[in-house]
Amino acid sequence: MRHYNIPFFIPELGCPHQCVFCDQHRISGTPKVPRPKELSSQVEAYLATFPDGEKQVEIAFFGGNFTGLLPEEQEAYLAATTPWLRDGKVQGIRLSTRPDYISRENLELLKRFGVSSIELGAQSMDEEVLRLSGRGHTARQVEEAASLILAHGFRLGLQMMTGLPGDTKEKTLFTARRIVELGAVETRIYPTLVIEGTHLAKLYREGSYEPLNLEETVERCKHLVLIFEQHKVKILRLGLHPSEGLINGNDLLAGPFHSALKEVVETAIWGELFREAYAQWQGTSVCIRVSPKALNAAIGHHASNRKWLEQVFKKVNFNADPALKGREYRADPC
């Protein structure tokens, strides 16, 4: 069943901390916070674009600390979604929040209003990285919040970042493994970018912080993707949403931004699979079959995998094979 979000960005609303990397207004490209009474027209506009047929639709509140809002503010936003939940046009509500703003009382409020999915901004499960990043919470608080969310029957997502101050490849992979162990069924993976106006920009200019380059980020994310795939944790997003400020460079000071990071990482994973095996392939021409969903990724971003294979073989064909799943492939002479 196809899933759709109707997103509302509430940048930094209810957030008590200014993390060193954060300026949600610049990152999300949302200068104005929508008020509850403004939700109606936007929800109807989104619903009109969705195709007919079976689908799951969630109204989603992103970019802030939803459970950090005053209870009456939370109720106002959630109550504004009631008409669409009642008539079945929307099946649930998704929100993102901080792990140190989760309580039994608050989860009971969310449950009453039909919230279905809660995403926690864990970012790292390493205490030093959390401290250097100014997160204002501990790894233990992530663990406790995750346990409470699951106990109340919500779908749990845990978001993470790579390349934060004090982070290493080992710490990044540790965070991914802990996300799996804590019972998350969804995740988002974000590279750390240096955004103008943040404390991280000051550290970067002082020379006390150096972001990962794109190659390092892709290398780390390859491993993250494979860990989450192995444990059936759905990756909702890999890389930041390309707001206008990030694309034109006005907001981005430094860091591994790529508007198609997921495609680049998928290309690298498939390229590595082919490099490990191509010496065993027979003939001067090769036909590579993959699942229909994997076809574009296997060919590669800007056809990069096909291009390097064409330096090895006289002819290279890629074909979709519905019998293949995941990262299965077949390579035969053709």
- Read off the tokens for 81: 């979604």
* Spatial separation of the C-alpha atoms in residues 307 and 180, rounded to whole Å: 36
138 and 221 housed in the same domain: yes
pLDDT score recorded for residue 242? 66
325 and 240 housed in the same domain: no
Number of domains observed in the structure of the chain? 2
* Spatial separation of the C-alpha atoms in residues 225 and 265, rounded to whole Å: 8
Among residues 229, 259, 289, which one ends one of the domains?
A: 259
User: What's 250's domain CATH number?
Assistant: 3.20.20.70
Q: Give the β-pairing of 329-333 and 285-290.
A: antiparallel
Contact 64, 13 (CB under 8 A): yes
Domain that holds residue 293: 278-333
- Read off the tokens for 300: 């590669």
**In a domain? residue 267:** no
255 and 282 housed in the same domain: no
pLDDT score recorded for residue 286? 96
CA dihedral 135→139→144→149, nearest 10 degrees, is 60
Element spanning 309, H or E: helix 304-309
Residues 6 or more apart whose Cβ sits within 8 Å of residue 100: 136, 137, 141, 145
49 and 175 housed in the same domain: yes
* Spatial separation of the C-alpha atoms in residues 331 and 273, rounded to whole Å: 12
25 and 87 housed in the same domain: yes
Angle in degrees, 0-180, between the axes of helices 104-112 and 139-151, rounded to the nearest 10: 40
216 and 78 housed in the same domain: yes
pLDDT score recorded for residue 309? 96
203 and 79 housed in the same domain: yes
pLDDT score recorded for residue 34? 85
219 and 315 housed in the same domain: no
**In a domain? residue 266:** no
pLDDT score recorded for residue 15? 59
Residues 6 or more apart whose Cβ sits within 8 Å of residue 120: 96, 97, 98, 99, 102, 142, 145, 146, 149, 156, 157, 158, 159
**In a domain? residue 272:** no
37 and 88 housed in the same domain: yes
103 and 233 housed in the same domain: yes
Residue in the block written with tokens 């198609």: 260
* Spatial separation of the C-alpha atoms in residues 228 and 180, rounded to whole Å: 7
Among residues 259, 293, 314, which one ends one of the domains?
A: 259
The model's pTM is 0.91
* Spatial separation of the C-alpha atoms in residues 136 and 116, rounded to whole Å: 26
246 and 328 housed in the same domain: no
**In a domain? residue 264:** no
- Read off the tokens for 165: 């101050």
pLDDT score recorded for residue 71? 92
pLDDT along the chain (334 residues), means of 10: 89 63 58 83 94 92 87 94 94 94 96 96 96 93 98 98 97 98 98 92 95 97 98 95 62 91 97 94 93 97 97 95 97 92
pLDDT score recorded for residue 33? 79
